[in-house]
Amino acid sequence: MNIKLVTVGKIKEKYLKLGIDEFTKRLSKYCKLEIVELNDEKAPENLSEKEMIMIKDKEGKKILSHVKDTTYAIALAIDGKNLSSEELADKLNNLSIMGKSNVTFIIGGSLGLSDEVLKRADFKLSFSKMTFPHQLMRLILLEQVYRSFRIIKGEPYHK
Ligand SMILES: C[S@@+](CC[C@H](N)C(=O)[O-])C[C@H]1O[C@@H](n2cnc3c(N)ncnc32)[C@H](O)[C@@H]1O
């Protein structure tokens, strides 16, 4: 399976970088992983609603230029659907069985994802109603994708 991760914003925290590198390494046994890290747009405090939408739209266009028409796109969104780890594993496994072996996960920047990106998404995945910083979200997602492959393969992992 080919897993692509399109993200907005860099990983600045060293401890997160270490974790992301670890799961990237672990995942190499199960899939081809590509991470596209896009520069975020400058977003100073006190932006108006209109300005925020403009920034999200700009970031959204950059994101979509890395999302192929043929890929199954999963946008990470707080208002999306909650899945258990087993359900995410099932989803990835079913996609693979159906021949949809290109999956793109999308993580937004500090302002979130544009409507255009959310509309393009084939599935909106929520990790709870809580807001996570995009850097931490990347690590959590990679761990859950790794967990999915362990479940699919019937291999032991932490409970
Ligand atoms: C700092 S958050 C953006 C917060 C923004 N106010 C929003 O409502 O999307 C950055 C990105 O991390 C992801 N994210 C954060 N928390 C999430 C959650 N609980 N479930 C799914 N994705 C989440 C989303 O892709 C989001 O665009």
Tell me whether residue 130 is annotated as binding. yes
Q: Which two tokens stand for residue 29?
A: 């046994």
For the chain, the structural domain boundaries read 2-152
Q: For residue 44, what pLDDT band results from cuts at 50, 70 and 90? A: confident
Q: What average pLDDT does this structure show over 18-38?
A: 98
Q: Which atom of ligand 1 is nearest to the CA of 107?
A: 25
Q: What is the pLDDT of residue 32?
A: 98
**How many angstroms separate the CA atoms of 114 and 141, rounded?**
20
Ligand 1 pocket: which of 124, 131, 135 to mutate (most atoms within 8 A of CB): 131
**2-152, which class in CATH?**
alpha beta
Instruction: Please state, in angstroms and as integers, the Cα–Cα distance from residue 117 to each residue in 17, 24, 40, 64, 91, following that order.
Output: 26, 25, 15, 7, 20
* C-alpha 107 – ligand 1 centre gap (Å): 7
Q: What is the pLDDT of residue 45?
A: 86
With a CB cutoff of 8 Å and minimum separation 6, the contacts of 2 are 31, 32, 34, 101, 102, 103
Q: What is the pLDDT of residue 52?
A: 95
Q: For residue 74, what pLDDT band results from cuts at 50, 70 and 90? A: very high
* C-alpha 41 – ligand 1 centre gap (Å): 16
- The average confidence (pLDDT) of the chain is 96
pLDDT digits (tens, 9 = 90+) for 96-114: 999 999 999 999 999 999 9
* C-alpha 25 – ligand 1 centre gap (Å): 25
Instruction: Please state, in angstroms and as integers, the Cα–Cα distance from residue 4 to each residue in 25, 103, 128, 130, following that order.
Output: 15, 6, 22, 24
Residues of the chain above pLDDT 70, percent? 100
Prediction pTM value: 0.97
